[in-house]
Amino acid sequence: MLREAVSSEAGAGAGAFEPVDPYSIILNGTERVVEGSWIGESLLYVLRERMGLPGSKNACEQGECGSCSVMLDGEVVCACCVLAVDAADSEVTTVEGLNASGLVDDIQSCFVEAGAVQCGFCTPGLVVAVHDLLGRRPDAGSLEVREALSGNLCRCTGYGRILEAVRLVQEKREDG
């Protein structure tokens, strides 16, 4: 933004954005058509602003903080770093989709119970990341959990209660 402000050709010849042809995303199990979208829009923008799914958050838009974590064809990605058109015909699962699946209820209740939620801005992304981790590595040790969650920044909690929440989920799932 700042560099552009001093560039003499910035904005020269700028016209209206031309929308790309409509495309589909299999979003939380349902095919959704994206219309009127500009080619440069990130998956995060399309989810939040076009699909009405603001659960994935916008904290860095650079792939550093994990607040926008979603599942793309089963892999956790930062939605801010994926061009929405690249997700055409792919399966995208957001925190809203996980809510409906019931698969993360225990993660969410353990987060609340352990005090892992303060401002809550990082929480949906963390829920997605914990869901992914425990799906792959249900018995992950504490250092492995720390590493797996090190792509999800939290500024409020210092992570102590978050790690405690993950431990609680592991304990409950083992008992359950």
- 28 touches other proteins by CB under 8 A: no
Q: Which two structure tokens, joined as six digits, stand for 140?
A: 């992950």
Binder of other proteins out of 27, 46, 57, 93 (CB under 8 A): 57
Query: Which one of the spans 27-35, 40-48, 84-92, 168-176 is the region binding other proteins (CB under 8 A)?
Result: 40-48
Q: How many CB atoms lie within 10 A of CB 37?
A: 19
- 4 touches other proteins by CB under 8 A: yes
Residue of 143, 68, 79 lying closest to 166 (CA atoms) = 143
Q: C-beta of 30: minimal distance to other proteins in Å?
A: 17
Binder of other proteins out of 26, 83, 91, 99 (CB under 8 A): 99
- 90 touches other proteins by CB under 8 A: no
Binder of other proteins out of 24, 113, 135, 136 (CB under 8 A): 113
Provide DSSP, 126-137. Answer: HHHHHHHHHHH-
- Of the two residues 33 and 143, which places its CB atom closer to other proteins in the complex? 143
Longest dimension (CA), the chain: 65
Cβ pair 67, 125 in contact under 8 A: yes
- 69 touches other proteins by CB under 8 A: no
Residue of 160, 79, 69 lying closest to 123 (CA atoms) = 69
- Of the two residues 87 and 94, which places its CB atom closer to other proteins in the complex? 94
Q: Please report, as residue ranges, which positions from 117 to 156 form the binding site for other proteins (by CB under 8 A).
A: 117-124, 127, 143, 145-147, 149-156
- Of the two residues 4 and 139, which places its CB atom closer to other proteins in the complex? 4
Going by C-beta distance under 8 Å and a sequence separation of 6 or more, which residues neighbour residue 27? 47, 51, 53, 92, 94, 97
Q: What whole-number distance in Å separates Cα of residue 45 and Cα of residue 97?
A: 17
Query: Which one of the spans 27-35, 55-63, 84-92, 168-176 is the region binding other proteins (CB under 8 A)?
Result: 55-63
